[in-house]
């Protein structure tokens, strides 16, 4: 069984590729998927709204990443579980992605620039998702 790693445990180059994948860059998604970071590729798709990728995370030994994706989306049970974890990184990350300025500043104060960049990308993804849900005529 895999020992799930938290995001800060990955090399910064991998985190940069993850951030590009979150932005929708298929080349970086492919890099993650083909170089031993399938969980990060799945997580990037889960954050972008892919339910199958989210299920994959939970079913393949990456429940923290699945939980984090749900907490970023503001799902109440996931938010509560992240807060109960007492994991400062997870709490601040999910809150910052949902727009909490104090949590965003926490990343800047702790010189975690890669995560400041990643949070900014995730917030952009969430804005697009919200906009797409409002414009019903875009639904297929």
Q: pLDDT tens, 56-107?
A: 999 999 999 999 999 999 999 999 999 999 999 999 999 999 999 999 999 9
pTM for the model stands at 0.88
Tokens of 119: 């949070």
At residue 129's C-alpha, the angle toward residues 70 and 114, to 5°, is: 65
Residues of 53-62 as b/e, b for ≥16 C-beta within 10 angstroms?
bbebbeebeb
pLDDT in tens, 32-43: 999 999 999 999
Query: For residue 3, is it within any domain?
Result: no
Residue 2 lies in a domain: no
Alpha-carbon span 125 to 122, nearest angstrom: 5
Write out the residue range of the structural domain in which residue 80 sits: 9-138
- How many domains is the chain built from? 1
Report the distance separating Cα 32 and Cα 78, nearest Å. 25
């Amino acid at each position: 069984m895999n020992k799930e790693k938290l995001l800060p445990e990955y090399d910064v180059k991998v985190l940069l590729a993850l951030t590009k994948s979150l932005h929708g860059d298929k080349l970086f998604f492919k890099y993650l998927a083909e170089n031993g970071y399938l969980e990060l590729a799945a997580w990037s798709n889960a954050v972008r709204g892919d339910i199958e990728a989210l299920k994959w995370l939970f079913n393949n030994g990456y429940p923290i990443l699945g939980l984090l994706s749900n907490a970023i989306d503001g799902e109440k049970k996931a938010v509560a579980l992240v807060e109960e974890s007492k994991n400062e990184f997870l709490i601040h990350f999910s809150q910052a992605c949902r727009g909490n300025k104090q949590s965003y500043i926490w990343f800047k104060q702790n010189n975690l620039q890669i995560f400041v960049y990643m949070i900014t990308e995730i917030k952009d993804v969430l804005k697009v998702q919200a906009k797409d849900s409002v414009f019903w005529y875009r639904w297929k």
